[in-house]
Amino acid sequence: MTLFDDSLTLLQTLVRNACVNDLTPDSGQEVRNADSLEEFFCAEIAAGRDSGAVTVQRLEPRPGRTSIIVTVPGSDPSAEPLTFLGHTDVVPVDAAHWTRDPFGAQIEGSGADARIYGRGTIDMLGLTAPMAVVTREVAREALAGRPPRGTLTFVGVADEEARGGLGAKWLSAEHPEVLDWRNCISETGGSHLPVADGSDAVVVTVG
């Protein structure tokens, strides 16, 4: 399996879990995607717990609204960390406007013409899945004695579609220590960069 194949398979799983956030406190149920992500990492987590090469945390402010944090500690405490901040919830669907199952993750065509159909493939499970795949590869290297220089953290966060009150916003307020917020790549990418007047207003977008 290639990294692409792993990403596609994981993406299909995340889409099919249908973690639909309709802005009500008990919707989303991102626990389904947290479970799938933990299962995806299971071998690395099991092997890394004793050595400290990989750690995992699950946090939820409300039953079912689960965020998962997988950390691969770096070898150099002074090195810049990197955080992949992906969310696992999706917005509701208007079924009348869909010609395919919005949670089927159906693939049509082949090669360069192949397309996948499903809610969340763009926003943002299509990025969350490869972020997890890359993190797992780095974890495997760490378990083989080749950790990254800087700490790498993957976060599958709940409740992004409702502005993070039960997700990133809650984590930053209640558990700020579980991840490093300095260099987070999410939907728009980028990092905090000091500019000439001392402000912190530059966003770098990678597309």
pLDDT at position 116 is 96
CATH code of the domain made up of 3-185: 3.40.630.10
H or E element at residue 59 = strand 55-59
Active site residue 161: no
In 60-195, at which residue ranges do the beta strands (DSSP E only) sit? 67-72, 82-87, 106-108, 115-117, 152-157, 184-185
Place of tokens 């696992």: 88
Q: Please tell me the pTM assigned to this model.
A: 0.88
Domain-wise residue ranges, the chain? 3-185
d(CA 162, CA 93): 15
Other CB atoms closer than 10 Å to residue 141's CB: what's the count?
A: 14
Binned average pLDDT, 10 residues per bin, the chain of 207 residues: 92 98 97 97 77 89 98 95 96 95 96 93 95 95 94 97 94 94 78 67 59
R_g of the chain, CA atoms, integer Å: 17
Active site residue 160: yes
Phi-psi map region of 189: left, alpha, beta (phi>0 left; psi -120 to 50 alpha):
left
pLDDT at position 21 is 98
Q: Which of 6, 60, 89, 159 is catalytic?
A: 89
Q: Which of 6, 60, 160, 161 is catalytic?
A: 160
State how far Cα 72 lies from the chain centre.
14
Query: Which two tokens mark 163?
Result: 């502005």
Place of tokens 């299971």: 42
pLDDT at position 102 is 97
Place of tokens 């209640």: 174
Query: Which two tokens mark 180?
Result: 């490093």
Q: Which residues contact 131 (CB under 8 A, 6 or more apart)?
A: 84, 86, 154, 185
Exposure string for 176-190, b = 16+ CB within 10 A, e = fewer: eebbbeeebbbeeee
pLDDT at position 194 is 65
